[in-house]
Structure 1
Amino acid sequence: MACSKIFSGDIPEVMQNIIENLRDDIKSLYSCILINRNCCFLATPLLWEDPFSVKYRNNLSHHFIDTYFSFLNENDKNKVNKIKFHKSDIKSSYKPLFNYHTLIKTLDTFRMELHIICWLNTTTNNDQGTSNVKAYVQLITLQDESNEEFRLVKANKRNNGIQTICTILFNLFVENNVILNKLHITFTFYNNQLFNSIYKLILNNPTFISNIEEFTIHLFNYNKQFSIIKQFLSSLPSNIKHIEFFLKDENSEEKDIITDLIKSQSQLSSIKMRFSYNILSHSFLDSLKNSSNTLTSLYFGSNNISDLSYDALSNLTQLKSLQFKDCDLNSGIFQSLLKIKTPLKIKTFAIKKIHVREIIEIELFLQKVGYYIKNLVLDIEYIYRNDNHFKERLFDAIINYCEKIQFLHLCHIDYNDIPKLSKIISNFNNTLKFLTLEVKFFNFEHFSYNISINNDVDELKISSMILKLLCDSLPSNLCYLDLNLVINPDDLKLLFDNCDQIDLKRLLIRNRSSHNLD
């Protein structure tokens, strides 16, 4: 099809399809800009859909925020110049090639604050001053802000200029009829002024969020603004497909507003929930019934899965992904899913840093859905009922019931696991493409880089067994290998020699050895 269009002279359409497929490849998009004028016009809008996600670098002569400022009216330009007089000022004569401010599709308030703080920390005059906790801001993975980044924002909480500039940029987008696809809001007690301004702008311009497909809200210390948050959530459109919420403080009303938000949605495809206390309630779980025909992904994080009835989950017949992280896992959730009579075609099943009470339900669950699973992560830290063979039972379940594993991540691998691990790798020789293996660490101080540990004999022996196993049985289609081990260089050399026999695209090695090894 593409060849016929090239021969017919329809190259622009072909290029448009190619560049569209590079949407998530930032480096390639930047390269496309340099090819020719047509590629530049196709690639630039994609680069400006989510500008606040990029890594900020110091000492740039021009920041993308400066480009936005060139579109401000004179009144807003004066406000910005009072906060920070730019060394070249905001030149009204500067005429950009694109209306960059109209291209944005993803907006994250936290990232916006970080970029503005770093913009203010450049070497130009800044009357109000900012607290430069770190010289630069790392690329932030969506909805996973680090403590260091929070400290940076918090350290500048008294700088009203930051919130003023955020509001000015929000207003710029709204006034130019931007329609967002993704909105991520982080609300804390020290940015309530910003949230109030944003809320008023959105309330008066509902089109701005009328097409939101992905919505994230992080709430920290916000009790005084609860009514405004409730009104804001009620103003969201009903066609959101992906919702994530992270709730830091225990508030009984939170359960109601989150439940109401879930109930209001008609096309909900995925829910990701993280909280520092147990927010789950019967009403919240029952609200999932409204999305039983559309909900395909559930993620539970940082929560004590309490002894509630999970019968509502038995309605989720379209579930394709089920993930738990940092949870105290109650078996009731699996019992409810086991009640589903129709085939449950789950492709992704992940349990990360989990404490479980019974292993039998997970075994039965793998028996029910194992045929469909392609992505599997098993990281069980602790089981309440002392069962020295629980990993052996889990590995047997993988061997007996799973057939299509392409992505496999196994943690806490011990001496006794090696024979089963060998059989697992052999079983998925033709399908396995991504493999991550982590040795069991008997001393958790391995995870502190400031402490010297000299006793890692057990980890070294197990790691050696894993590496030798891989040397003998690397899957033929493996393209990604990630190892978190205590490594002997001789074993590693053998692995490198065997890697030449497969088409490995990426190899990630984390050596936790306490010794200096050349």
Structure 2
Amino acid sequence: MSKEKTRGLNSFPVEIIHNIFHYLEKDISTLYSCVRVNRNLCKQVIPYLWNNPMPNTYSPVNIEIFIRFFDEKVKNLLKNQYELDIEDSYQPLFNYTCYIKILDPRGVRRAAFYWLKNYYVEKFPYSDIYIDFKNNQIIDIIEKSLLRLILKNSLKIENLLLDLAEKYQDIPNCNIFLLKELQEREEGEEGGEGNQSNHSNHSNHSNHSNHLDQPYQSYQSNYPSHGIREITKLSIMNSSVKQFDNIQEFLDLLPTVCKNIKKVRFYDLFFIDPTMELKLCNVIKSQKNLTSINLTYNFVNILRLISVIKHQANSLKKLVLRYIHHNDMFLLNTFDQLINLEYLEINECYPINIILEPLIRANLKLVTLKINDIEIRYDLVESIIKSSGSTLKHLELNIYIDIIENSLPLSKLCPNLSHLDLKVSIRMINDDDDEYVDDLRRKKPTFFNYINHLKHLKYFSADFTYYVMSYIEDFDRYINFINFPSLRFISLKDQYYSSSNSFKRRFDHFSTMFNEITFYIDSESDEYYLDPLEDFVREKKDSGLSLNYTFDGYYNFVATDRILY
């Protein structure tokens, strides 16, 4: 029976197997279980387990897998001078470094740190040896050697993550990223001048498949060493007030080495100076086909960095701007060139009209629009929604009910929406203004008319402030008449103290449409409110109803279909 099962599994097309593993890529425990099934499945899953082996701050990595293939001088130094017991007999089954696609130099140092810490704990369990993360020669040696090993042997590093925070010190010497030392050594080896001990440790493999079918004997292969030359994603973060020389040198060489970057993310650069900003500008300008730019700053003037975005106007598909505060009208001469954008996200940028007005002139055809607006400029947002029209599929907005009163409904502006995420508010009002309150209550259908008749909507989430729910007292009566024929998920979250009857009405309506319904209730609620609801949940448990308690002061109704939305 087991042989038949194994044979059936091996007969699966490779494309299907890879699609399954790609879906499970972040489910590490399941992937490890697949490794134990059989040899063939093990070979297929190893690349997914090792594409980013050092992502976690506290997850130890078995450095012995790599130390065995360090230079002999390095191994002798660790053994003799630092008295580390390195197991030479350990024989890894795969060339694990060849699968690494995400390189985080800080993660490499982190891996060395936790390995050394665990090493001393196991060897000297009653010792109080202190391991300094920033200043430790053993960590320095392992970090440099491991980074060199990864850069030389990885078949293709796609994503480079640089955290330049002071607590992680500087990035290693730039020559490592250029593979200069490795290239010079390899040229010497080809001329017969190389280290003979290294030659004895290496063997070539004709192809990748054969390489996986036998225990891995060395880290030498027929594949060229690209290092970081072929990266397509670059993320740089800097919260340090210090400017290290190596960082400046690295930013100078980056545009000359990396020509195929598609996505850049510069975030939390709180202390960027004009020199560093200019270097980052050169990185953006040097790329020929940038498709995504993410800029996240705070309290920093980055006008030059924003202005160079125009150099990528033809290829740029995605733009994310967060926490950018400026008032320079020069941006009006740049953002109107971004005519090919498909994804736009703006989060707490001020003043927002500096960004939106030129984008309106660009006549965008967006697929995704996300705006967390700290200002009330729905007129500008509506213009972008209108220009996108039927191409817009995903929309996230902050809206004010009293401002959208005379606005067109979304079904007229963007009829093909599949995802809608709204934060719904009203402008702060004076509770003594009875005339205004009465007028607002008379207009309560405004919100429902605004969202109704979205025939393709699959995901709907609405987050209501206290004021909204208190003035739409019969909310549930209106929500029952909304026409979302394709809906697969709905979340209604509010700060208003809804009654048990309100939740029951929601359940009675949505249980005819969805398989699973959950109420999220503030744990601070009194027993008078909770007891009848708990009884109701127990009664309807077989109908897919559950009750969860939270501490955030919100009340959330979530209904979902088992069909993925």
Answer whether contact 1:106 1:182 (CA < 8 A) is retained.
Answer: yes
Aligned to 2:18: 19
Q: Is the 8 A contact 2:461 2:492 kept in 1?
A: yes
Partner residue of 1:356 out of 371, 375, 384:
375
Question: Between Structure 1 and Structure 2, whose CA radius of gyration is higher?
Answer: 2
Q: How far is the alpha carbon of 1:255 from its aligned partner?
A: 3.0
Matched, 1:265 2:274: no
Distance in 1 (alpha carbons) for counterparts of 2:308 and 2:413: 32
One-letter identity of the residue aligned with 1:296: K
The one-letter code of the counterpart of 2:456 is: T
1:422 counterpart (448, 453, 465): 448
Residue number among 262, 272, 296 corresponding to 2:317 in the alignment: 296
In 2, Cα distance between equivalents of 1:50 and 1:333: 36
CA contact 1:105–1:180 (8 Å) conserved in 2: yes
Is the Cα contact below 8 Å between 2:151 and 2:228 reproduced in 1?
Answer: no
Compared CA separation, residues 177 and 363, structure 1 to 2 (3 A): closer
Q: Distance in 2 between matches of 1:169 and 1:463?
A: 61
Q: Which runs of 5+ in 2 are unaligned?
A: 1-7, 181-224, 427-439, 532-565
Q: Aligned runs of 1:94-493 on 2, under 5 Å?
A: 94-120=90-116, 122=118, 123-124=121-122, 125=124, 129-130=130-131, 156-159=133-136, 161-176=138-153, 178-193=155-170, 195-197=171-173, 199-205=174-180, 207-221=226-240, 222-225=242-245, 227-246=248-267, 247-281=269-303, 283-309=304-330, 310-340=332-362, 344-352=364-372, 354-356=373-375, 358-379=377-398, 389-392=402-405, 396=408, 398-413=410-425, 419-428=445-454, 430-441=455-466, 461=470, 470=479, 473=482, 475-486=484-495, 488=498, 490=500, 491-493=502-504
In 2, distance between residues paired with 1:115 and 1:164?
13
Match of 1:42 among 21, 41, 44: 44
The whole-number CA distance in structure 1 between the counterparts of 2:471 and 2:460 is 17
C-alpha displacement of 1:190: 3.5
Q: Find the residue that maps to 1:338 and give its secondary structure.
A: helix
Gaps of 5+ in 1: 1-8, 132-155, 381-386, 442-457
The normalised TM-score by structure 2 is 0.69
Q: State how far apart, in whole Å, the 2-side matches of 1:496 and 1:84 are.
A: 67
Letter in 1 for 2:352: N
User: How far does residue 379 in structure 1 lie from its aligned partner after superposition?
Assistant: 3.0
SS in 1 for 2:13: helix
CA distance in 1, matches of 2:446, 2:79: 66
Q: Could you say if the C-alpha distance between residues 265 and 74 of structure 1 is closer, same or farther in structure 2, counting changes exceeding 3 Å?
A: same
Q: Greater shift after overlay, 159-168 or 363-372?
A: 159-168
Alpha carbons 1:484, 1:511 under 8 Å: kept: no
Residues 360 and 172 (structure 1 numbering): CA distance in 2 closer, same or farther, change over 3 Å? same
Which of residues 496, 502, 508 in structure 1 aligns to 2:513?
502
Contact 1:245/1:273 (<8 A) preserved: yes
Equivalent residues of 1:399, 1:423 under 8 A apart: no
- Please name the residue that 1:91 is paired with: 87
CA deviation profile, 1:136-169 (whole Å, cap 9, x unmatched): xxxxxxxxxxxxxxxxxxxx44455545443232
Q: In the superposition, relative to structure 1, how do residues 433 and 68 fare at CA in structure 2: closer, same or farther (>3 Å)?
A: farther
Count matched residues.
Answer: 449
The amino acid that maps onto 2:366 is I
Q: CA deviation at 1:296?
A: 0.3
Shift of 1:173: 0.8
The separation in 2 between residues aligned to 1:223 and 1:473, in whole angstroms, is 56
| In 2, Cα distance between equivalents of 1:377 and 1:158 | 46
> 1:83-133 CA distances to partner (integer Å, 9 max, x unpaired)?
9988xx5422222221112210111234445555554554434875358xx
Q: Which amino acid aligns with 1:167?
A: K
Distance 1:119 1:478 in 2: 49
Structure 2 residue aligned with 1:383: none
Q: Which residue is 1:451 aligned to?
A: none
Letter matched to residue 372 of structure 1: T
Counterpart CA distance in 1 for 2:106 and 2:444 is: 44
Q: SS at 1:216's partner residue?
A: strand
Counterparts of 1:312 and 1:477 in 2: how far apart (Å)?
A: 39
- CA-based RMSD of the aligned residues comes to 3.7
Q: Which moved more, 1:227-236 or 1:164-173?
A: 227-236
TM-score (norm 1): 0.74
Q: Which residue of 2 aligns with 1:143?
A: none
User: C-alpha deviations, 1:375-415, integer Å up to 9, x for none?
Assistant: 111136xxxxxx98335466x45343121111111114458
Q: Distance in 2 between matches of 1:321 and 1:181?
A: 22
Q: CA deviation at 1:224?
A: 4.0
Give the C-alpha shift of residue 509 in structure 1: 6.2
